[in-house]
Chain A
């Protein structure tokens, strides 16, 4: 079946450090890929998405490229801020399906 694997957290960084959160997936078809973010006390919010191979999703300084050859969708940001501290979820959705399959989430802690 479909699955998403994320690196375990927490990821602890200092402000302005470079961020990478790894995400790989297994899918039978051609899924769309998403990164969701959950700030403390809030619901999940869509951060970015990519719907086909080689697409790059970007938002708020975060980027992720859909790599079909490595079945990966790693999240990156060049310079993190304290306000980026949150839990980040990688997810996929198969073409024609409504359901999202999530990874376990990775907590990011950014210190000043």
Chain B
């Protein structure tokens, strides 16, 4: 089946530094990728929708200058947390919809997530 690889699985960084998280679709082309974050005991919250070759669409309340998303190819999207602070510590998960998948009937394929800890 379709596989989405997310890297790194865990990262610890110092406050003020930037962290890049990669999301790759390994055996399919993903025109659309989604980035979620999950705080402890809370639901996955959609941060942004990333379309290949165009600017990401951010959800209300998500700072686009802080969470930079790049979707330069059909198999790779990156999320960069810039000038990270302890409150950015969270679990970040990407997902991808394969080329041609209908908007609500086809399943998303999820990465394993990245645990970010900012000290």
Contact = CB atoms under 8 A, between A and B. Distances in A.
B104 A104 contact: no
Nearest to A94: B104
A77 interface: no
A35 to B, nearest CB: 11
A103 B34 contact: no
Given A41-B112, A89-B44, A104-B42, A98 B6 contact: no
B108 A51 contact: no
A98 B49 CA distance: 9
B97 A98 contact: yes
Interface residues of B, number: 25
Nearest to B41: A104
A100 B110 contact: no
Given A43-B6, A105-B43, A98 B103 contact: yes
A43 B41 CA distance: 17
B95 interface: yes
Given A98-B97, A102-B43, A46 B107 contact: yes
Given A43-B6, A43-B111, A51-B105, A98 B32 contact: yes
B104 A102 contact: no
A34 B41 CA distance: 20
17 contacts: A36-B110, A43-B4, A43-B110, A43-B112, A43-B113, A44-B95, A44-B108, A45-B110, A95-B104, A96-B103, A98-B49, A98-B97, A98-B103, A99-B34, A102-B43, A102-B44, A104-B41
